[in-house]
A and B are shown apart, each in its own frame.
Chain A
Amino acid sequence: MTLQANAMGTPTRRLDGAPKVTGTAPYAYEQPVKNPVYVHAVQSGVARGTIRSIETVAAEAVDGVVAVLTHRNATRLADVGDDELAVLQSDSVAFRGQLIAAVLAETPEAARHAARLIQVTYDDEPADTELRADREDLHAPEGEDPPDDRSRDEFAAAFSSADVRVDQTYTTPMLHNNPMEPHTTVAVWDEESEVRLTMFDSTQGVHVVRSTLAPLFGLRPEQMRVVAPHVGGGFGSKGMPHAHNVLAGLAARAVPGRPVKYAVPRQQMYALTGHRSPTIQRIRLGAERDGRLAAISHDSVEHSSTVKEFAEECGKPTRSLYAGAHRLITQRLATLDVPVPSWMRAPGECPGAFALEVAMDELAEACGVDPIDLRIVNDPELDPKTGHPWSSRRLVECLQEGAERFGWAARDPEPGRRQTGGTLVGMGVAASTYPCFRSPGSVARIEVTDDGRYSVRIGAVDIGTGAWTALTQIAADALGCDMELVKLEIGDTDLPHATVAGGSSGLTSWGSAIVEAARILRHEHGASPRVGTTVEAETPDKPRGVAVHSFGAQFAEVHVDPDTGEIRVPRMLGVFAVGRVINAATARSQLIGGMTMGLSMALHEVGVMDHRTGHVVNHDLAEYHIVTNADVGDVEATWLDDVDPQANPMGSKGIGEIGIVGAPAAVANAVYNATGVRVRDLPITADLLLR
C-alpha cells in the first residue's frame, strides 16, 4: 500500500539550511580533532614502469616532517583482490598519477614542501593510453557474453532492408566528477580502543567504506567506524573508497593515536578519484518511412584500466527506451595504462543517451517527421529489455507537455533558418530515462524517546541531495506525526546498515526501510508506544515482473553567433515522470542540477590526456571547464503529477541522475537546428561550427 502523503510532496526547506549557509556544517576535514598530522601525497611521474629508486632523506630532514611513507615502509595490507586499493604495496606503476609516496608532517606547508623534495627514478616502459575503435585488443567486459551470431545476422538483415537508415559514430571525452568538496579523509588509528580505525570521510556510503577497507587493514567491521554527516557532493566519485582512503588509513597506522588529515588536492583528483571513460559509440537505426524502428544497434567502446576493470555501459538506455524488433547491443573495452575509471552521474545512461538521442534526431530528419512524433511512434508497450510491463512510463506525456510549455511549435524543422537579431536560433529535444534501483540490505531503527519524539536511525548519507530533509518527511508520514517529532540520525557506521547514495537509489532503499519500521511499530505497539520501544526493519524486496524506470523529456534553445560560433543556451526545460516527488524544492534542485551538469558536458567538459605521458594535462578547474553562473540561463524542471505504487511504498522514483541523461543530446540537437552543423563529438565548441 502506498503511503498517505502529508509532509511528503511539500517544498520543505532543507533542515540543514542554516548550518550550510553559514558554513558551520562540519564536512570531513572540519571535524574537530586534536594535534593532527597533515598528509601530502606524491604521484608517479610515469604512466607505466617500476620505481627504481625513491630518495626520501631530504624530505625526512625537513623541519616538522613526522614520517615519509613509500612502498618500502608502508604497512602490508591484506590482498582483497582490488588493486586500486593496494596502495604503496609494490614498486610497480600502472598509471600516471598513481600514489607512490606520502609525507606526514606537523603542518600542511611542511608536508607539501617535503613532498617536492622526494626524488624518484623509474624503469619506465612504453605506456598505451589511447582509446580507438580500431584497436585489435578490444574485449567484452568480464562476465558479459557478446551477442551471438544469430542475433547479429537478424539485426543485419533487418537493418539492411530498412527504408531509412542512420549509421553514425558519436564520441564523448574523458570526464571528471569534480565535486566541490575534494575527497577528504581524517583518520585515527588507536591500538588501545576496540574501534581501531576511525575515519571522518567524504563519502556517499559510510558502510561501504567500512566493509571495503576493514578487511584490507585486517580489521573486523566493528573495529572500524566511518562518519560522514555532511558531504560536499560526489556524483559517483565518492560511491566507493578509492586509493586516497587507503593512504589515509596507512598514514594513521604509521602515527597511532594522532589524527591524520588528507584532503586530496584538486589537481590530484583527476588521477585518483575516478572519472568517466571516453566513449566511442556507433549507432545504427533502421526504420520504416514513418519512423517506426525495425532495427536498433548500439556498439560502444570505452577504456578501462590495467589496475581494475570498469565498464561504462553505454548501451543501457538503448535496451529499453524504444520499440523495435531487432536490437543489437555490444560493448568492448580497451584495457589501458590509465587511471581507474569509475562511476560518474548516470554511468552508461548519460553518454549512451547522448549517442542514441542525437541519432534519433538524425532519424527524424531522415524520415521527415517531428522528433517528438518519432519518439511517440516508437514508445514501447512493454519493456523491450525484459518483456515486463512498465510500472508506469508516461514518456509521451512528458514530451507533449514539454512541447506545449516550451513552445516547440515555433521550431523550424529546417535547420539554420531561424534568426533573432542576427543570431541563429535552434531548438532541440531528447528523452531521458533512468532505472529505479532498490538496493537490498538497508536497516532503519525507530525508537520512542522520552521527549515524546521518534529517533529514526539509518546510516544513510546526504551528499547534497536533501536526504536529511526528505527522509524526515518520509518518516513523519510513515509514523503519522509532524516532522518536528522525528529526530533523524544519518552518516555514521554506528547507525544501522545503509546502502550507498548512488544509482538514484537512496530514498527508495532507505525510505522503504523507514516505512517498514514505522509500519511494524504502529502494528505491534499502536498509536502511543511507550518510551524506549524500539523496532528495526530492513528494506523490503523489490517488486518482480515489472519494469520500473523514471522518464523525462528535455528541451533546449540555443543561440549561435554566426560570425564567432559562440553558443549560448538561454533556456532549458525538463518535464519528468518520476513518481511521487517527496520534496518539491530539493527534487527540483536535483533535476535542474543534473540538467546543468548535462549542459556543462555538452559545451565545456573535456579531460585532455597527453598520450605521450598518460597525463591529464588540464587537471584543475581553470583548465577543465565546468559551467559557471554566466553560462547557465533559465533552466527549469517540472514533473507530471504522479505516484508509482509499484516503485516503493512512497510511490517515488529516483531523481538524482535522470537530469543529466538526455540533456547533452537536447543541446546538441538544438545546435544542429540552429546551424545545420551536426556535431557528434562532445564537447561542442565554437570552432566546430565554423568549419
Chain B
Amino acid sequence: MEVPITIRVDGAERSMTIDTRTTLLDAMRDRLSIMSPKKGCDHGQCGSCTVLLDGRRVVSCLALAVAHDGAEITTAAGLADGAELHPVQQAFVDRDGFQCGYCTPGQICSAVGMLEEAKAGHPSHVTDDLTGPIDLDDAELRERMSGNLCRCGAYVNIVAALREGTAS
C-alpha cells in the first residue's frame, strides 16, 4: 500500500508517495538520498540512525515514515550551518570523538537531543536528585549516550567532547 506524505528534512520540504512498510530511515536514504543518518542494525539497537524528530532524538529505523507525515527532521548534516559546524560537531572533531565515523552522525544528533533533555530537567538512571537541575557530569554523559554504540571505541573522546560542549 502506498500513501503520500510530506516531511521537512533539514529545512527542505519533501513530498513522496511511500510504501507503508518503509521506515523513516529508508525513506531518507533510499527515497530522498539523504545519507547522513546511517543504518547500522535496522533494529533500534545501535543508534547510528538517530535524528532529531520534532526536536527529540529518535532512532529513525524504528519509525515508520507513514506515521510521520508533516514531521520536522534534523539530521547531522542539517545541524551544520553551511561550512560552520555545530558546536557539538566541532567538539567531536577537536577531541577526535570518532574513528570510522559511521556512528558519528547518530552520536551527534543524540548528543544535541540529550543536551536539550538535560536542560529541560529530565532525569536519567544515574541522576540522584530527581527534582533539581541536571549536572551533566561524566556519569550522566555516559549513561545518556549509551543508546549509541561505537565499535571503534571512541567513547572516552565522545565524553571529552561533550564535557567541552556542556562547559561552554
Query: Counting CB contacts under 8 A, is B154 at the interface?
Result: yes
Query: Counting CB contacts under 8 A, is B96 at the interface?
Result: yes
Max chain A Cβ within 10 angstroms of own Cβ: one of B30, B75, B96, B149:
B96
How far is B100's CA from A465's CA once the two chains are assembled, in angstroms?
7
The interface on chain A, measured as residues whose beta carbon lies within 8 A of the other chain's beta carbons, has a size of: 64
Whether B37 pairs with A178 at a CB distance below 8 angstroms is: no
Q: Which residue of the partner chain B has the closest CB to A623? A: B45
- Which residues does chain A contribute within 8 Å of B42, judged by CB atoms? 265-266
Query: Counting CB contacts under 8 A, is B151 at the interface?
Result: yes
Q: What is the minimal beta-carbon distance from B2 to any residue of chain A, in angstroms? A: 10
Query: Counting CB contacts under 8 A, is A339 at the interface?
Result: no
Whether B96 pairs with A14 at a CB distance below 8 angstroms is: yes
Whether B99 pairs with A621 at a CB distance below 8 angstroms is: no
Q: What is the minimal beta-carbon distance from B62 to any residue of chain A, in angstroms? A: 12
- Which residues does chain B contribute within 8 Å of A465, judged by CB atoms? 99
Whether A18 pairs with B35 at a CB distance below 8 angstroms is: no
Q: Which of A20-28, A447-455, A644-652 contacts B (4 or more CB under 8 A)?
A: A20-28
Query: Counting CB contacts under 8 A, is B150 at the interface?
Result: yes
Whether A21 pairs with B40 at a CB distance below 8 angstroms is: no
How far is B108's CA from A47's CA once the two chains are assembled, in angstroms?
41
Q: Which residue of the partner chain B has the closest CB to A31? A: B35
How far is B146's CA from A632's CA once the two chains are assembled, in angstroms?
10
Query: Counting CB contacts under 8 A, is A16 at the interface?
Result: yes
Whether A23 pairs with B26 at a CB distance below 8 angstroms is: no
Query: Counting CB contacts under 8 A, is A592 at the interface?
Result: yes
Whether A180 pairs with B150 at a CB distance below 8 angstroms is: yes
Whether B101 pairs with A464 at a CB distance below 8 angstroms is: yes
Max chain A Cβ within 10 angstroms of own Cβ: one of B26, B42, B142, B151:
B151
- Which residues does chain A contribute within 8 Å of B159, judged by CB atoms? 629
- Which residues does chain A contribute within 8 Å of B104, judged by CB atoms? 20-21, 23
Q: What is the minimal beta-carbon distance from A595 to any residue of chain B, in angstroms? A: 7
Q: Which residue of the partner chain B has the closest CB to A465? A: B99
In residues 22-40 of chain A, which contact B (Cβ within 8 Å)? 22-27, 29-30, 32, 38
Whether A596 pairs with B156 at a CB distance below 8 angstroms is: yes
- Which residues does chain A contribute within 8 Å of B29, judged by CB atoms? 29-30
Among B35, B40, B151, B158, the residue within 8 A (CB) of A629 is B158
Whether A182 pairs with B40 at a CB distance below 8 angstroms is: yes
How far is B41's CA from A597's CA once the two chains are assembled, in angstroms?
19
How far is B48's CA from A29's CA once the two chains are assembled, in angstroms?
14
Per-residue CB contact flags for chain A residues 624-640 toward chain B (1 = under 8 Å, else 0) read 00111111101110000
Among B85, B94, B151, the residue within 8 A (CB) of A233 is B151
Whether B45 pairs with A21 at a CB distance below 8 angstroms is: no
In residues 95-148 of chain A, which contact B (Cβ within 8 Å)? 107-109, 113
Query: Counting CB contacts under 8 A, is B53 at the interface?
Result: no
In residues 1-46 of chain B, which contact A (Cβ within 8 Å)? 19, 21-22, 26, 29-30, 33, 35-43, 45-46
How far is B100's CA from A191's CA once the two chains are assembled, in angstroms?
35
Among A19, A231, A592, the residue within 8 A (CB) of B100 is A231
The interface on chain B, measured as residues whose beta carbon lies within 8 A of the other chain's beta carbons, has a size of: 57
Among B19, B80, B99, B148, the residue within 8 A (CB) of A107 is B19
Query: Counting CB contacts under 8 A, is B71 at the interface?
Result: no
Among A20, A108, A463, the residue within 8 A (CB) of B26 is A108
Whether A235 pairs with B151 at a CB distance below 8 angstroms is: yes
Among A233, A622, A630, the residue within 8 A (CB) of B152 is A233
Whether B100 pairs with A463 at a CB distance below 8 angstroms is: yes
Query: Counting CB contacts under 8 A, is B73 at the interface?
Result: no
Query: Counting CB contacts under 8 A, is B143 at the interface?
Result: yes
Q: Which of A402-410, A504-512, A552-560, A583-591 contacts B (4 or more CB under 8 A)?
A: A583-591
Whether B41 pairs with A620 at a CB distance below 8 angstroms is: yes
Whether A589 pairs with B154 at a CB distance below 8 angstroms is: yes
- Which residues does chain B contribute within 8 Å of A627, judged by CB atoms? 153, 155
Q: What is the minimal beta-carbon distance from A542 to any residue of chain B, in angstroms? A: 27
In residues 174-231 of chain A, which contact B (Cβ within 8 Å)? 178-182, 230-231
Max chain B Cβ within 10 angstroms of own Cβ: one of A29, A593, A594, A635:
A593
Among A25, A235, A588, the residue within 8 A (CB) of B96 is A588
- Which residues does chain A contribute within 8 Å of B79, judged by CB atoms? 22
- Which residues does chain B contribute within 8 Å of A17, judged by CB atoms? 92-93
Query: Counting CB contacts under 8 A, is A232 at the interface?
Result: yes
Q: What is the minimal beta-carbon distance from A467 to any residue of chain B, in angstroms? A: 11
Whether B105 pairs with A23 at a CB distance below 8 angstroms is: yes
Q: Which residue of the partner chain B has the closest CB to A13? A: B93
How far is B99's CA from A25's CA once the two chains are assembled, in angstroms?
13
Q: Which residues of B contact A (CB under 8 A)?
A: 19, 21-22, 26, 29-30, 33, 35-43, 45-46, 48, 75-77, 79-80, 83, 85, 89, 92-94, 96, 98-105, 108, 141-143, 145-146, 148-159
Which 10 pairs between the two chains have the least Cβ-Cβ distance? A464-B100, A596-B153, A232-B102, A23-B36, A20-B101, A23-B105, A593-B153, A464-B99, A17-B93, A30-B35
Contacts A/B (CB < 8 Å), 16 sampled: A13-B94, A22-B76, A27-B35, A107-B19, A107-B22, A180-B40, A180-B149, A181-B100, A463-B100, A464-B152, A589-B99, A589-B154, A592-B154, A596-B153, A622-B43, A627-B155
Q: Which residues of A contact B (CB under 8 A)?
A: 13-14, 16-27, 29-30, 32, 38, 107-109, 113, 178-182, 230-233, 235, 263, 265-266, 463-466, 585-586, 588-590, 592-597, 600, 620-622, 626-632, 634-636
